[in-house]
């Protein structure tokens, strides 16, 4: 049953849940109402029976008891005057003693118990039936007798071994309760049906934005069109609005990611085409020389092989940069992020930079600074910055490196970057026209920028006073390690 319920559409489940909740509430109210009305009606009947309880004349009692079961013609005027009157006596053995002109009801063992052990405080109410089978409300009470012979004719005497029984018909009361039950049942049915219809309408209205979102998702899955957007009211802050905004943000991010990927593929294809074309040309020359038997002069052959080697090295470096950039696009891996001593990472990068530019003077002033990042990615980024400084520094030049308060600066004394080219230095595959003859893929600074941003920092390149370029990397951290590293 539960499995079948879960297989229903959400709007159907909501309608059923609303209908069930209303049905439960209506049923609880209806049952409560019915019992309250029943209690009120029976309370009125009990009050009516209590008002009919009075002292019975001694002569009438004696006449009834003397002729028990024979329906005597006794004087019972004091008990007359009611429609369908019920009055009788019951003995301790259950014998009925009828009054003249009154109808009788069937007795129970409880009635006989009152007769056997009379107590002036005992009044027993019950539902029963008369001798004709009609439903009645019965009161059995101890028998109080007046007019008993003796010195005080007005005294009231508790009569033993007999109880007084009066009753009223239940026909009108039962009809009222039956009519009330029918009305409550009809009202409950109408309420449940109305609640189901209202629940379905509310579910449709509430899920309409979800339907739009579903249509949009299906459209994206079918057409791969990431430009679709779901309209959202600016002031709306409900769950549907948040979901719609999240979907719009997701499609925007996916569209941007696709655009970046397409641009990366196009740029990578363009950059790969040059070394591949040169490789193919050189290899074809070498192959044609072998096929035709025309030997290439040793100097030219050596130059061709050197060119092939250089192009292979450039191609391998380009592929490595692309792999690094793709890992940067995927973000830092949570299990690789560590607390890193930035001064140690810079010092390791400086050792590599000094090997690549032994003729240069590289000075360093490093103060402690600890950051959370991926160690290998950060070291590669700093190495790229230092490589650029080494590449563009004049022979015998100086490179100044400083780390203070979380800011790493690298200043060279090379030609510097023209002001009109500074906005593009971090773009993928962008290379200054003056640097196209130098080795490189145009991805180094892009990798550096992405690594720094993923570490929560900032990077900038500016023209230094007096010539050269100043690179500044700002990373959030602290001058002392966290307690876990102590």
Which range, of 148-152, 299-303, 338-342, 455-459, averages the lowest pLDDT? Answer: 148-152
Measured between alpha carbons, how far apart are the two ends of the chain, in Å? 60
Confidence band, pLDDT 50/70/90 cuts, at residue 72? very low
Pick from 199, 192, 253: which is nearest to 226 by CA?
Answer: 253
Query: Angle 458-320-261 (CA atoms, 0-180°, nearest 5)?
Result: 65
Tally of CB atoms within 10 A around 266:
11
- Tokens 């430009």 sit at which residue? 227
Give the alpha-carbon dihedral of 415, 419, 423, 425, to 10 degrees.
Answer: -10
pLDDT given for residue 317 in this prediction: 64
- DSSP assignment string, 445-461: HHHHHHHHHHTT-EEEE
CATH topology assigned to domain 239-327:
Helix Hairpins (1.10.287)
Task: Put residue 328 in one of left, alpha, beta given phi > 0 → left and psi -120 to 50 → alpha.
Answer: alpha
Q: Which class in CATH covers the domain with range 56-169? A: alpha beta
Neighbours of 150 (CB within 10 A): 8
The per-residue pLDDT for 268 is 64
Stronger pLDDT, 139 or 7, i.e. the higher one? 139
**How confident is the model over 433-483, as pLDDT tens digits?**
555 545 555 566 777 888 888 888 998 888 888 788 899 999 998 988 877
Nearest to 411 by CA among 421, 399, 423, 396: 399
Q: Out of 14-23, 235-244, 381-390, 403-412, pick the least confident.
A: 235-244
In this model, does residue 333 exceed pLDDT 90? no
Mean pLDDT in residue range 224-236: 74
* pLDDT given for residue 379 in this prediction: 84
Taking residues 291-296, what's their average pLDDT? 78
Q: How confident is the model at residue 148 (pLDDT cuts 50, 70, 90)?
A: confident
Distance of CA 400 to the CA centre of its chain: 55
DSSP character for 485?
G
Report which of residues 325 and 122 the model is more confident about. 122
pLDDT-above-70 percentage for the chain: 83
52/254 Cα distance (integer angstroms) = 89
Measure the CA–CA gap between 228 and 347, rounded to whole angstroms.
50
* Residue written as token pair 């780390």: 403
pLDDT at 138 over 90: yes
Residue 178 predicted with pLDDT over 80: yes
- Does position 309 have pLDDT exceeding 70, yes or no? yes
With CA atoms as reference, report the closest residue to 286 among 275, 300, 273, 269: 300
Mean pLDDT of the chain, nearest integer: 79
pLDDT digit string (tens) for 110-127?
888 888 887 767 889 999
Distance CA 340, CA 485 (A): 10
User: Do 205 and 9 touch, CB atoms closer than 8 A?
Assistant: no
Spatial distance between the Cα atoms of 170 and 384, rounded to a whole number of angstroms: 102
361-366 and 398-404 strand pairing: parallel
When pLDDT is cut at 50, 70 and 90, the band that residue 361 belongs to is confident
Which CATH code of 3.40.630.40, 3.30.565.10, 3.30.160.270, 3.10.110.10 fits the domain covering 333-485? 3.30.565.10
- 217 pLDDT band (50/70/90 cuts)? confident
Backbone angles phi, psi at 132, to 5 degrees: -95, 0
Q: How many CB atoms lie within 10 A of CB 239?
A: 11
Domain boundaries, the chain: 2-37+176-217, 56-169, 239-327, 333-485
Contacts of 293 (CB under 8 A, 6+ apart): none
Left, alpha or beta for 336 (phi > 0: left; psi -120 to 50: alpha)?
A: alpha
Residue 194 pLDDT > 50: yes
Rounded to 5°, angle at Cα 273 from 296 and 428: 135
357 pLDDT exceeds 80? no
Asked if pLDDT for residue 271 goes beyond 80, the answer is no
Q: Is the predicted pLDDT of residue 408 greater than 90, yes or no?
A: yes
Question: What pLDDT was estimated at residue 126?
Answer: 92
CA separation for the pair 358, 384 (Å, rounded): 17
């Amino acid at each position: 049953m539960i499995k079948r319920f879960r297989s229903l559409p959400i709007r159907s489940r909501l309608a059923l849940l609303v209908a069930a909740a209303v049905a439960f509430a209506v049923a609880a109210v209806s049952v409560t109402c019915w019992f309250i009305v029943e209690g009120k009606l029976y309370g009125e009947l009990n009050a009516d029976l209590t008002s009919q309880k009075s002292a019975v004349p001694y002569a009438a009692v004696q006449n009834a008891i003397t002729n028990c079961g024979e329906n005597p013609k006794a004087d019972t005027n004091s008990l007359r005057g009611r429609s369908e009157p019920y009055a009788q006596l019951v003995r301790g053995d259950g014998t009925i003693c009828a009054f003249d002109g009154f109808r009788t009801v069937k007795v129970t063992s409880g009635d006989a118990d009152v007769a056997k052990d009379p107590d002036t405080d005992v009044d027993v109410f019950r539902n029963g039936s008369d001798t004709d089978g009609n439903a009645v409300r019965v009161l059995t009470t101890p028998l109080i007798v007046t007019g008993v012979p003796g010195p005080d004719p007005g005294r009231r005497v508790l009569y033993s071994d007999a109880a007084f029984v009066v009753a009223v018909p239940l026909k009108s009361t039962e009809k009222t309760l039956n009519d009330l039950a029918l009305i409550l049942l009809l009202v409950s049915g109408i309420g449940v049906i109305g609640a189901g219809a209202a629940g379905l309408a509310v579910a449709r209205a509430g899920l309409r934005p979800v339907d739009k979102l579903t249509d949009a998702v299906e459209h994206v899955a079918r057409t791969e069109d990431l430009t679709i957007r779901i309209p959202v009211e600016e002031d709306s802050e409900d769950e549907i609005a948040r979901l719609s905004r999240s979907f719009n943000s997701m499609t925007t991010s996916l569209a941007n990611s696709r655009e970046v990927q397409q641009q990366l593929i196009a740029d990578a294809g363009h950059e790969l085409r040059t070394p591949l074309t040169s490789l193919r040309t050189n290899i074809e020359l070498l192959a044609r020389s072998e096929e035709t038997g025309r030997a290439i002069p040793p100097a030219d052959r050596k130059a061709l092989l050197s060119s092939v080697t250089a192009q292979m090295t450039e191609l391998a470096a380009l592929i490595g940069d692309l792999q690094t950039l793709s890992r940067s696009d995927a973000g830092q891996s949570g299990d690789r992020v560590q607390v890193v001593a930035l001064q140690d990472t810079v010092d390791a990068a400086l050792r590599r930079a000094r090997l690549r530019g032994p003729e240069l003077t590289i000075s360093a002033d490093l103060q402690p600074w600890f950051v959370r990042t991926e160690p290998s990615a950060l070291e590669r980024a700093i190495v790229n910055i230092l490589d650029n400084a080494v590449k563009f520094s004049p022979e015998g030049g100086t490179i100044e490196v400083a780390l203070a308060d979380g800011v790493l600066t690298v200043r060279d004394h090379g030609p510097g970057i023209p002001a009109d080219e500074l906005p593009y230095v971090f773009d993928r595959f962008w290379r200054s026209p003056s640097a196209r003859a130098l080795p490189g893929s145009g991805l180094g600074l892009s990798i550096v920028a992405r690594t720094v941003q993923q570490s929560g920092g900032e990077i900038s390149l500016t023209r230094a006073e007096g010539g050269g370029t100043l690179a500044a990397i700002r990373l959030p951290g602290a001058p002392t390690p966290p307690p876990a590293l102590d």
